[in-house]
Structure 1
């Protein structure tokens, strides 16, 4: 093995990547616009939901209910008549349509139990579920305070003092942006290394490498360090300028320590990319393989759903995946400010998994090259 060969071959990979506008566009998008979209487009959060109200009572109480819906949870309600309600919902203009019946205030003051009809467009699943609870709470609170003539403070037997650790604002964009960075590190590392190998095969340049005085180890290692360097640089840029800068998401821990952990993770995932590149014979095949591999890795790694909520079989099986340990490491450092004394087990696990994947991918790469000679 010659270090010079590995370095020069890696520079060749960087130059080849620089001449591929599609891959460059993917890298830029994955660490800029994709991060912003994941941080700001959280569908489970109720934000500016469209609501229309049919006020058939025209009383102070109904007006009070109408005024209770305001941004950011709801847009200003559209006051419509009953004939428009179904048509507007069929057209997708409203997610919620509230129908306040005639004599509603009189029935409330008389001690009767009047019924308010709430129509919900359930195709907007997350908003429908969350918004229904919000509307029920708002209407109940306004009716109760109107009937009592004042807003009563409920005296609870126990005072619960909430202290939200690591995300005191309970801002979902803090979680979404960082997790998107973590997921895109995995995605790009696999895509870039696998595509680099397939590109060599499709362009016929792999044969040129075979007649040069370089070993399969040098060829593979060069692809790994070059693509890992690109992903690591893009990741650092995204954390500093997009997450911390543009989105104003506070990073509690050391970005340098996280990048070292990302380097261990990239050792494993770039090896995985080489392995998939030896199996696939074309870029379409490689894309289908990535779907089969990447979706379970991201969904079951603990980034989307806590691992404690998963079946025991899945939890133990995913300990063999590098993404599980990388998510644990990244969340501990970036969210909770953990140091190396806390995350060293994840570093060790990534080193072991990466070594195993590298060895297996190298054996497969050598086998593939030997069949071509």
Structure 2
């Protein structure tokens, strides 16, 4: 009971110290509000109001159908220009795409020939150019196929592919980006807060005061883990409800309570990592440098940015020891696909085991650090 009371009161001290750190409070609020919103709405993978111009040298029913197929929100209404205005318009940066429909295009299509359409792309606008190429090809192929089917008999294929998008029917990038940014912020802030709390104790000289009190290293470390973890859990839950679900309109399919439990297990590991880094770093600038080499692999190789299946097998195996890999998997399963505990229990078990190992390593390092100070 005395140990629990010591951990509780030391945790309250940590919360009060955090409350007086204005810059850290601003970072917490920014990371789970404005940064989540910007990261979700600023993803470049989706086409949005791309400027396009069309040179219609055919002036046929088919070319008119193709022109009318480009409309917001993926494209701006097409600008109809002549052939001489094509190059000057692209040189001036007025259009990302210029489509040139050649003369006699409809006649050649109906005759069974394979006429070519020229598509000029401004590749300096890399994100739109890369995605827009596929968009435009699919739009033209679809319009040509529908037109030909209405004009002459086309052999029907014995198999027809029916595509259905599960969990994100419109492929809205906001749904993916918002939740992944919350996950990244949980990892980042949990490590920063616990590491900064230990460094703050050392810089202010209060760690020496704790050493002369009847406190064990376990009690000191555990108080930092639960207090900073509680802060991150609260703001992450608020971010999911008020920013992701309400402000951005992302449908949450699963249980937020189950997600919070998974977040708590993830924080058990990441806060221990923060304590470990806090014992290695001697100042906040050193802590910042350590965060760079720790956070980048955790965020980029965990599956939140790139699917793990596209990574080398060695990287996939190594990242199984990272808590973020399992946290990303359970968060996507719960929030996107509505998975229950019966599906995500392997990730819960993995987080519990990884957290226990990281906690033991951090506690051993913390004891050695305190012993050298004593």
**TM over 0.5, shorter chain:** yes
SS at match of 2:305: coil
Q: 1:173, 1:293 → 2: CA distance?
A: 26
Q: 1:245, 1:278 → 2: CA distance?
A: 40
Cα RMSD, aligned residues only: 2.8
Aligned counterpart, 1:41: 42
- Residue 148 of structure 1: CA displacement? 7.2
Q: 1:147, 1:333 → 2: CA distance?
A: 45
**Segment of structure 1 superposing worse, 53-62 or 2-11:** 53-62
- Residue 177 of structure 1: CA displacement? 1.9
- Residue 130 of structure 1: CA displacement? 2.2
Q: Structure 2, unaligned stretches of length 5 or more?
A: none
CA offsets, 1:86-117, max 9 Å, x none? 44434443221223456766776788765443
Q: 2:339, 2:143 → 1: CA distance?
A: 45
**Segment of structure 1 superposing worse, 195-204 or 256-265:** 195-204
Does structure 2 conserve the Cα–Cα contact (< 8 Å) formed by 1:145 and 1:152? Answer: no
Q: 1:159, 1:281 → 2: CA distance?
A: 64
SS at match of 2:119: strand
Q: 1:370, 1:191 → 2: CA distance?
A: 23
Q: 1:356, 1:115 → 2: CA distance?
A: 62
Q: 1:63, 1:168 → 2: CA distance?
A: 29
Q: Structure 1, unaligned stretches of length 5 or more?
A: none
Does structure 1 conserve the Cα–Cα contact (< 8 Å) formed by 2:45 and 2:173? Answer: no
Q: How many residues align?
A: 373
Q: 2:150, 2:166 → 1: CA distance?
A: 38
> Aligned runs of 1:325-364 on 2, under 5 Å?
325-364=326-365
Q: 1:229, 1:151 → 2: CA distance?
A: 67
Aligned counterpart, 1:299: 300
**Segment of structure 1 superposing worse, 153-162 or 172-181:** 153-162
Aligned counterpart, 1:240: 241
SS at match of 1:315: helix
Does structure 2 conserve the Cα–Cα contact (< 8 Å) formed by 1:145 and 1:151? Answer: no
Q: 1:302, 1:343 → 2: CA distance?
A: 16
Aligned counterpart, 2:24: 23
Aligned counterpart, 1:365: 366
| 1:318 aligns to 2:314 (yes or no) | no
- Residue 50 of structure 1: CA displacement? 1.6
Could you state the TM-score of these two structures normalised by the residue count of structure 2?
0.88
